[in-house]
Amino acid sequence: MIEANLPNIVLLGSDLGTHSGLELGGRIARYYPNTKVIMLSPNPNDEELFEVIKTAAVACLSKNVNTPELVNTIKRACGGEYPINETVMNRPRIAGRVLEQFQNISTIGKPMETVITPLTNRETQIMRYIADGNTNKEIGRVLGISEQTIKSHVSAILRKLNANDRAHAVALAIRSSWITPEGTTQEICQ
Amino acid sequence: MNKIVVMIIDEQPFFRAGVRQALSEESGFEILDCDPT
């Protein structure tokens, strides 16, 4: 449904006590970065809000939110804002936990952007072949799938990375360390 | 001006209908909804 319609905003209402809504929100935010997720919870407490932050939702509102506030939040999210930031800043305990998590990730030794990639394993694999200068036809032959399927994957990659073309996508992927600048497809072929 | 496409995902049909109704009174939105189950 998301793939077919590519909404600007998803209003994800869920009982945040269960993890299904959180998982769905996380997957949407990860695989469709142009779709902004706003979580709607019956009564979000600190623990739930912390879990929502981890899904990369841009806002978390009560299900009892009034229409003007909902509309305002949607418009701000569409404009690239993260209203959830204000919610966090108003709750010092949550802000402290977020900071602690951030510090933990930083100590792994990798830049933040390398920890999460919006691309699937297959898309990352195809990105490596593109980076090595292969055409869709060549990639399809090596992977044993049709050129049309490769085209679909490439379209998804461009959309997810907000890239203008293949070269731009490769540059973004290398810059974020999702693929390495050195040729890597040779070892895959062997 | 392009409309903002909003998708409402919730298990409760009444909640989806309520949000849809509220947003439909505002201009500039295209509203979709679906049941995640």
DSSP string covering A103-143, please? HHHHTTSS-HHHH--SS-HHHHHHHHHHHTT--HHHHHHHH
Distance CA A156, CA A162 (A): 10
pLDDT in tens, A32-70: 878 899 988 887 777 777 778 777 788 888 888 899 999
For residue A163, what is the enclosing H or E element? none
Residue A74 in contact with residue A38, Cβ under 8 Å?
yes
Nearest to A54 by CA among A27, A81, A14: A27
* B27 touches A at CB < 8 Å: no
For residue B7, what is the enclosing H or E element? strand B4-9
* Residue-level pLDDT at A18: 59
Q: What tokens does A72 get?
A: 């305002």
Contact B9 A8 (CB under 8 A): no
Residue A7 in contact with residue A35, Cβ under 8 Å?
yes
> Could you tell me the fold of the domain covering A2-109?
Rossmann fold (3.40.50)
Residue in A closest to B27 by C-alpha: A71
Task: Please say if the pLDDT value at position A190 is more than 50.
Answer: no
Residue A73 in contact with residue A83, Cβ under 8 Å?
yes
Domain positions in chain A are 2-109, 114-189
Contact A13 B6 (CB under 8 A): no
Contact B5 A63 (CB under 8 A): no
How sure is the predictor about A182, in pLDDT bands with cuts at 50, 70 and 90? Answer: low
Which of B9, B11, B12 lies at the smallest CB-CB distance from A11?
A: B9
Q: What tokens does A33 get?
A: 């970065």
Residue A79 in contact with residue A52, Cβ under 8 Å?
no
Residue A38 distance to chain B (closest CA, Å) = 10
Q: Tell me the residues of chain A between 6 and 65 that have a Cβ less than 8 Å away from chain B.
A: 6-14, 20-21, 24, 40, 63
Domain positions in chain B are 4-34
* A72 touches B at CB < 8 Å: no
* φ, ψ of residue A135 in degrees (nearest 5): -85, 170
> Could you tell me the fold of the domain covering A114-189?
Arc Repressor Mutant, subunit A (1.10.10)
* Residue-level pLDDT at A154: 92
Q: At what angle do helices A121-131 and A147-161 cross, to 10 degrees?
A: 100
Q: Which residue has the higher pLDDT, A147 or A16?
A: A147
Q: Model-level pTM?
A: 0.61
Q: Which residue, among B1, B2, B4, would best test binding to A if mutated, counting the most A CBs under 10 Å from its CB?
A: B4
Can you point out the beta strands (E) in chain A?
9-13, 36-41, 59-62
Task: Please say if the pLDDT value at position A107 is more than 80.
Answer: no
Residue A36 in contact with residue A61, Cβ under 8 Å?
no
For A10, half-sphere exposure in the C-beta direction (CA atoms, 13 angstrom radius) is 30
pLDDT in tens, B5-18: 999 998 889 989 99
* Residue-level pLDDT at A186: 45
Task: Please say if the pLDDT value at position A108 is more than 60.
Answer: no
